[in-house]
């Protein structure tokens, strides 16, 4: 089924487009109109697909995407194209506006977080859509992060984890299993959620490894506490406390401390 996208004829008179070389103009127009586009202008597409459809070289595609991003026109993150002014330049009726919101809600949390960072230009044109949705009584307030479930429980909806997160979680759980002699899985949703929460707070892989060693020394030979040597306890809200636990405190440390 074909989809309609609105492209103003003034596109060719745009000062930025005028200065682009022909192959970059082709790529820019392709990113606006290819079959994978959606009403919000944020969609997943591989470089291989772009290469296949346009016959542009991988090197040229990567170079052009970097140039687009430097100017804040189009971003490419985790295989997602993010067109900053796409919504602004579409003629959206009420149903299409709702469709945009649904598209945004379906995005992976990493992409939703990225597009509403202060240094990403995507959120500027979205302000207009936010006002329009308010008029539809959709209970959409000015807090875009809240509207797009940025702070919602990650277990409430399925999402595709980025390759970086998958590798990081696996490395952390592999170290935990090595230290404890256990067989915890790096694919457990709750474990992934806890690790991602700590990473967002600024902790790194080395911090997790330190907690593993410290709490093993602290609890392993304690019959009452050894059962808490598990991800849901170690990676919870007391993570920073475990990380900074001093050797003199090991013997008397408990969950409540």
Over residues 114-155, the pLDDT tens digits come to: 877 655 666 665 555 454 444 433 333 333 444 444 444 434
The domain boundary, picked from 113, 129, 153, lies at: 153
- What spatial distance separates the first Cα and last Cα of the chain, rounded to whole Å? 60
Range 205-230 average pLDDT? 92
Whether residue 82 sits in one domain with residue 41: yes
Whether residue 111 sits in one domain with residue 231: no
Whether residue 193 sits in one domain with residue 114: no
* pTM tops 0.85: no
Tell me which of 179 and 148 has the higher pLDDT.
179
* Predicted confidence (pLDDT) at residue 79 exceeds the cutoff of 90: yes
- Looking at residue 138, its pLDDT comes to 38
Bridge partners of 83? 74
Which long-range CB contacts under 8 A does 161-170 form with residues at least 24 apart? 161/108, 161/192, 162/78, 162/108, 162/110, 163/78, 165/110, 165/192, 165/196, 168/195, 168/199, 168/205, 169/195, 169/196
Question: Running DSSP on this structure, what letter comes out for residue 161?
Answer: P
Give the distance between the most distant pair of CA atoms in the chain. Answer: 74
Q: Considering the domain boundaries, does residue 199 fall inside one?
A: yes
- Looking at residue 151, its pLDDT comes to 42
Whether residue 103 sits in one domain with residue 133: yes
Using only the alpha carbons of the chain, give its radius of gyration.
23
Residue 23 is part of which domain span? Answer: 9-153
Which of 159, 103, 157, 158 is closest to 129 using CA atoms? 103
Q: How many domains does the chain have?
A: 2
For 16-37, the pLDDT digits (tens) are 999 999 999 999 999 999 999 8
Whether residue 141 sits in one domain with residue 67: yes
Which long-range CB contacts under 8 A does 55-62 form with residues at least 24 apart? 56/23, 56/26, 56/27, 60/23, 60/27, 61/27
Least confident of 114-128, 159-173, 240-254: 114-128
Q: Which two tokens stand for residue 252?
A: 């008397």
Whether residue 143 sits in one domain with residue 178: no
Percent pLDDT > 90 in the chain is 50
Range 54-65 average pLDDT? 96
- Looking at residue 114, its pLDDT comes to 82
- For 133, the 3-state DSSP assignment is helix
Whether residue 149 sits in one domain with residue 45: yes
State the Cα–Cα distance between residues 186 and 173, nearest whole angstrom: 6
Whether residue 233 sits in one domain with residue 206: yes
Q: Considering the domain boundaries, does residue 1 fall inside one?
A: no
- Looking at residue 6, its pLDDT comes to 61
The domain boundary, picked from 108, 135, 153, lies at: 153
- Looking at residue 7, its pLDDT comes to 73
- Looking at residue 158, its pLDDT comes to 44
Instruction: Using alpha carbons, list the distances in angstroms from residue 108 to 82, 159, 188.
Output: 13, 6, 17
Least confident of 66-75, 139-148, 172-181, 194-203: 139-148
Whether residue 167 sits in one domain with residue 146: no
Whether residue 123 sits in one domain with residue 33: yes
Q: Considering the domain boundaries, does residue 92 fall inside one?
A: yes
Whether residue 71 sits in one domain with residue 138: yes
Q: Considering the domain boundaries, does residue 3 fall inside one?
A: no
User: Alpha helices, DSSP H only, in the chain?
Assistant: 15-18, 22-33, 47-54, 58-70, 94-105, 109-115, 123-135, 144-147, 163-180, 189-200, 205-219, 231-234, 239-243
Q: Considering the domain boundaries, does residue 132 fall inside one?
A: yes
The domain boundary, picked from 86, 120, 153, lies at: 153
Helix axes 189-200, 163-180, angle to 10 degrees: 100
State the Cα–Cα distance between residues 150 and 229, nearest whole angstrom: 30
Range 214-228 average pLDDT? 90
* Predicted confidence (pLDDT) at residue 67 exceeds the cutoff of 90: yes
Whether residue 167 sits in one domain with residue 111: no
Range 85-97 average pLDDT? 77
Instruction: Using alpha carbons, list the distances in angstroms from residue 12 to 30, 54, 69.
Output: 14, 19, 20
């Amino acid at each position: 089924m074909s989809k309609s996208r609105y492209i103003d004829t003034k596109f060719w008179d745009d000062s930025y487009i005028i200065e682009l070389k022909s192959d970059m103009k082709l790529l820019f127009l392709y990113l606006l109109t290819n079959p994978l586009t959606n009403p919000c202008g944020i969609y997943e597409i591989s470089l291989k697909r772009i290469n296949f459809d346009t016959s542009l070289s991988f090197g040229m595609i990567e170079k052009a995407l970097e140039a687009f991003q430097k100017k804040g026109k189009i971003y490419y993150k985790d295989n997602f194209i993010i067109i900053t002014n796409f919504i602004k330049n579409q003629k959206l009726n009420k149903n299409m506006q709702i469709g945009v919101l649904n598209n945004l809600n379906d995005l992976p949390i990493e992409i939703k977080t990225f597009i509403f960072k202060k240094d990403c230009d995507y959120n500027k044109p979205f302000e207009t859509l936010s006002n329009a949705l308010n008029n539809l009584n959709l209970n959409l307030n000015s807090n875009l992060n809240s509207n797009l479930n940025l702070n919602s429980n990650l277990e409430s909806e399925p999402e595709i984890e980025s390759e970086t997160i998958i590798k990081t979680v696996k490395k952390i759980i592999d170290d935990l299993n090595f230290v404890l002699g256990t067989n915890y899985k790096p694919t457990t949703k709750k474990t992934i959620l806890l690790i991602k929460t700590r990473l967002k707070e600024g902790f790194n892989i080395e911090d997790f490894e330190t907690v593993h060693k410290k709490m093993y020394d602290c609890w392993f030979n304690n019959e009452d506490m050894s059962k808490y040597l598990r991800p849901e306890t170690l990676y919870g809200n007391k993570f920073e406390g475990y990380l900074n636990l001093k050797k003199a405190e090991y013997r008397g440390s408990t969950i409540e401390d």
